[in-house]
């Protein structure tokens, strides 16, 4: 039987609800598809700080390195107490495993309150450079305050980082509608965005079957609200991508509909929804599990294709069909997307759809 080893990092707040929901769905799909998954829970976040003295305990990175991939729940690092063990695990995981591409799809579904029909695009965001000060230098910080009245933030753009995220986006575009849009601001950031655009076009030389165009970031933000259906795959720098993917989520029902997958050239992948830990609704059983379930589905599909594990691809397809079925009915989706059930009810509906799918559909 085909086999994968996957880590489970629940995270904080609603992560303690939606990550177990995702694992339940993935277990059901794997069982139907004939995929054996060795699930390995790992401590992380506030619970790990309380029990192990660190939000990223010693040995976690080494253990994850031996796995095929892992699920990372939302991290509530803004509420962590100050101290040496209270660190934000996000950038550490992304940089340690070379997960330089953050793949964030946006799709509209009927009846959920989407602002537009027929939205189906993917934003590929560079993950390890840019303005974010916790991931753009090896030591120290990319943001500092030389005087009480002055703060300086440094944006790092490299040729290697730009080229490799462009290649990742081009691969995705080739598998979809063969159109890639570069989003940048080289009219102002002539060197930084200029280099990014140069490397994107250099990568595109290897993909003559993909049509490439470019849009200035402020124009793209406007067009995303006006005609999002015209875009297929988009590639951009870190902070632009972080902002634009939240805007895109707003078009299709909110951050509960915003999945994500972090990938690189290495041997692992990280399923990570775009939303935060939502402490205001934690423990109430109303969190939308879609983004986390879909992130997990994306990971299984990517791992299956990367490793030639057909059962993982089949399990991902099962998850996708069952999730779409649950989204189609108000009684099997959560209240934030015009539904009447909670986290458990939506999860139950998806699991039941997987278990009852007929064999001729599976084939």
* 252, 119 Cβ separation under 8 angstroms: yes
pLDDT tops 70 at residue 166: yes
How does pLDDT run across 258-307, given as a tens digit for each residue?
A: 999 999 987 799 999 999 999 999 999 999 999 999 999 999 999 999 99
Q: Which H or E run contains 316?
A: helix 310-327
CA distances from 251 to 170, 243, 299, 308, 326 (A): 24, 13, 24, 35, 20
pLDDT of 134 reads: 74
Percent pLDDT > 90 in the chain is 89
Give the residue, 238 or 267, on which the prediction is more confident: 238
pLDDT of 315 reads: 98
pLDDT tops 80 at residue 232: yes
pLDDT tops 70 at residue 359: no
pLDDT of 362 reads: 43
pLDDT tops 80 at residue 226: yes
Q: Please list the residues that pair with 106 across neighbouring strands.
A: 121
Residues constituting the chain: 363
pLDDT tops 70 at residue 48: yes
How does pLDDT run across 104-124, given as a tens digit for each residue?
A: 999 999 999 999 999 999 999
pLDDT classification of 358: cutoffs 50, 70, 90: low
Distance CA 286, CA 283 (A): 8
pLDDT tops 60 at residue 361: no
How does pLDDT run across 188-203, given as a tens digit for each residue?
A: 999 999 999 999 999 9
Q: Residue 353 half-sphere exposure, CB side, CA atoms within 13 Å?
A: 23
pLDDT classification of 141: cutoffs 50, 70, 90: confident
How does pLDDT run across 336-350, given as a tens digit for each residue?
A: 999 999 999 999 999
How does pLDDT run across 1-39, given as a tens digit for each residue?
A: 789 999 999 999 999 999 999 999 999 999 999 999 999
pLDDT tops 50 at residue 363: no
pLDDT of 122 reads: 98
Residue 143: burial class (beta carbons within 10 Å; 0-12, 13-18, 19+): middle
What secondary structure letter does DSSP report for 206? T
pLDDT of 273 reads: 96
pLDDT tops 90 at residue 242: yes
SS3 content of the chain, % helix, strand, coil (to 5): 45, 20, 35
Q: What is the mean pLDDT of the chain?
A: 94
Tell me which residue of 198, 200, 195 sits closest to 181, measured CA to CA. Answer: 200
Give the residue, 71 or 82, on which the prediction is more confident: 71
* 177, 234 Cβ separation under 8 angstroms: no
């Amino acid at each position: 039987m085909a086999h994968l080893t996957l880590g489970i990092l629940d995270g904080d707040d609603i992560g303690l609800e939606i990550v177990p929901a995702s694992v339940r769905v993935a277990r059901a799909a794997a069982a139907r598809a004939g995929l054996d998954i060795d699930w390995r829970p790992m401590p992380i976040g506030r619970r790990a700080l309380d029990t192990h003295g660190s939000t990223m305990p010693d040995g976690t990175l080494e253990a994850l390195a031996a796995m095929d991939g892992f699920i990372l729940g939302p991290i509530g690092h803004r509420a962590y107490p100050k101290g040496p063990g209270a660190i934000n695990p996000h950038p550490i995981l992304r940089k340690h495993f070379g997960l330089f591409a953050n793949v964030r799809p946006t799709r509209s579904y009927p009846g959920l309150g989407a602002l537009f029909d027929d939205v189906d695009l993917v934003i590929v965001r560079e993950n390890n450079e840019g303005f974010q000060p916790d991931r753009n230098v090896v030591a120290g910080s990319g943001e500092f305050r030389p005087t009480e009245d002055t703060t300086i933030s440094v944006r790092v753009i490299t040729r290697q980082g730009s080229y490799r995220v462009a290649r990742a986006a081009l691969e995705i575009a080739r598998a979809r509608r063969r159109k890639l849009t570069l989003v940048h601001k080289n009219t102002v950031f002539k060197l930084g965005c200029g280099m990014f655009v140069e490397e994107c076009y250099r990568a595109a030389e290897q993909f003559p079957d993909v049509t490439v165009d470019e849009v200035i970031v402020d124009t793209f933000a406007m067009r995303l609200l006006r005609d999002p259906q015209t875009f297929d795959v988009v590639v951009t720098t870190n902070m632009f991508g972080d902002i634009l993917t939240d805007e895109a989520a707003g078009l299709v029902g909110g951050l509960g509909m915003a999945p994500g997958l972090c990938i690189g050239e290495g041997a692992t992948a990280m399923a990570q929804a775009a939303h935060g830990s939502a402490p205001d609704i934690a423990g109430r059983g109303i969190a939308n599990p879609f983004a986390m379930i879909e992130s997990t589905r994306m990971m299984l599909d990517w791992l299956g294709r990367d490793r030639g594990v057909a059962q993982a691809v089949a399990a991902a397809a099962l998850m996708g069909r069952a999730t779409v079925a649950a989204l189609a009915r108000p009684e099997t989706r959560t209240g934030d997307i015009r539904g009447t059930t909670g986290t458990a009810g939506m999860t139950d509906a998806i699991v039941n759809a997987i278990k009852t799918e007929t064999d001729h559909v599976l084939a």
